[in-house]
Structures are given as structure tokens and as C-alpha cells.
Amino acid sequence: MGYFYGVMVTGLNFTKALAGLPVVPVKQGNHHITLLYIGDRKPSGGVGDKLRRVVEGFPCFRVELGQPLLLPSLVKPRVLAIEINDHGLLAMLRALIINALRDSGVNIADRYLGDFKPHLTVAYVRVKVNPQYLMTLLSYIDLSTLPVKSPWIGYR
């Protein structure tokens, strides 16, 4: 099992929009924007308290959803996500978390550390799916019609 830091997103339901696609939707209430993957070891030694102090004053913010993505790559997709446009605040929040973890001696095992692609995780891709076929199917979904009720992202 891997551990990551992210931002929970409320008010989303992709189940109907993704019906019929070869994916398993993330359960409602579990949608998130992944900021940083740290590996298979859970941080210990008060790291959670330190992170809480670092991010507790971070302002709430909204993000704009972009296009569908298959991650970690189009060749071997594991996750269906939607890119986040204009992610300046997410990058700042991520930097705060990375600095706090490093200051606490946490080894960050994210091989994509230098390639930040902010995204909203919406589904898990079934094992034997042709990625091009899946992307073709996704091109028929109008993301602007997805039911979103007052999403907020951040800390209060």
C-alpha cells in the first residue's frame, strides 16, 4: 500500500458519466488531488502534526478542471484523472509539504517528483484496456456537464 498527500474534493459524482467505460470509479467522497506520493512507508514521529501546522493557514481555493488523463502513462494506465488547470496554489501547497517532510527526515519515494501533474483522480483503469480506445471513449464525455455541487479544496 502506498501513502500520498493530497487534497480531498467534495461534491463530485462521476459514476453516471463513467458508466459503460472500462474503469472503476472512485467512490463518492474519496475524490482527491494527489500532491505527492511518498512510498510504502507511513511517516512517523510527529510528521502529521508538523504538516498540520505548516498547512493550516493555507487558504481555500477553487480549481478549473481540464482534459482527461491516463496516468502514470498512456502506455500503461492505472488511473483515469482529469488535469487541473492553473495550479499555482497547488504547487505552493505541494512545496510546503515537501519541505516539511524533508525537514522531518522523510524519504520521498515519488519518481515523478520533478514532473508535477496536478490531477483529480476519478477512476481506476481495468487491467486489460486499450488506452487509445479508452481515450476515444472519453472524448465523447462532456466534462462541463458533470454534476458538481459547491466543490471546495483546501483547509479551513
Best CA proximity match to 98, nearest among 38, 8, 11: 38
pLDDT value for 46 = 82
What residue segments make up the domains of the chain, in order of their start? Answer: 3-145
> What CATH architecture applies to the domain 3-145?
Alpha-Beta Complex (3.90)
pTM assigned to the model: 0.75
Q: Is 44 exposed, middle or buried (0-12, 13-18, 19+ CB in 10 A)?
A: exposed
pLDDT in tens, 65-95: 888 888 888 888 888 888 888 778 888 988 9
Q: Secondary structure of 77-96 in the HEC alphabet?
A: CCEEEEEEECCHHHHHHHHH
Question: Would you place residue 154 in the very low, low, confident or very high pLDDT band (cuts 50, 70, 90)?
Answer: very low
- The answer to which of 17-26, 46-55, 138-147 has the lowest mean pLDDT is 138-147
As a whole number of angstroms, the distance between CA 19 and CA 121 comes to 16
Place 34 in a pLDDT band, splitting at 50, 70 and 90: confident
| Per-residue confidence (pLDDT) for residue 153, from 0 to 100 | 40
- pLDDT tens digits, 40-67: 777 777 888 888 888 888 888 778 888 8
